[in-house]
Amino acid sequence: MSLIPSFFGNRRSSVFDPFSLDVWDPFRDFPLSASSFPSAVSSQFPGESSAFVNTRVDWKETPEAHVFKADLPGLRKEEVKVEVEDDRVLQISGQRNIEKEDKSDTWHRVERSSGMFSRRFRLPENAKMDRIKASMENGVLTVTVPKAEEAKKANVRAIQISG
């Protein structure tokens, strides 16, 4: 039993209840669905099962590089694309396929997402675009973007004025 009443019917909401077991989805009862959009949009974004929303990416800057880490469990490196556009945009994309259903199987819960995902990041001016490297290990994609050396500050020395 929840200590805090839910304002959204009988659902327990993690927004108001820190002891909730369910994650609150603000769009769960949203009146628009993928079927209410034009077919071009709904085919690209198949609703709640879309994986692009759940792709988490960390971006950290070290003295030598910008490092991106994306959690992509269950994907092989052949299913992921890492691209860089001319205007300094890093794009990580791919597709997670839906598992084939067998009519004799009884599904009790489907929580793993499927579909296309895409994340884009504008890289800073100091990024070395020609030296970007990517690797994938244990479902974690790591993209390393080396930084250009900063222009060394001119050595300024004071000049004694005579006279």
pLDDT tens digits, one per residue of 40-85 = 443 444 443 444 456 889 999 999 999 999 999 888 899 999 999 8
- Residue recorded with tokens 């990041």: 121
Overall average pLDDT of the 122-126 stretch:
92
Overall average pLDDT of the 11-31 stretch:
51
More confident of the two residues 109 and 34? 109
Whether pLDDT at 135 is above 80: yes
Angle (CA) 88-93-95 rounded to 5° is 170
Other CB atoms within 10 Å distance of the CB of residue 135 = 10
With contact defined as beta carbons under 8 Å apart, do 81 and 74 qualify?
A: no
pLDDT attached to residue 81: 95
**Burial track 94-115 (b if 16+ CB lie within 10 A, e otherwise):** bebeeeeeeeeeeeeeeeebbb
d(CA 16, CA 2): 10
d(CA 12, CA 14): 7
The model carries a pTM of: 0.59
pLDDT attached to residue 25: 56
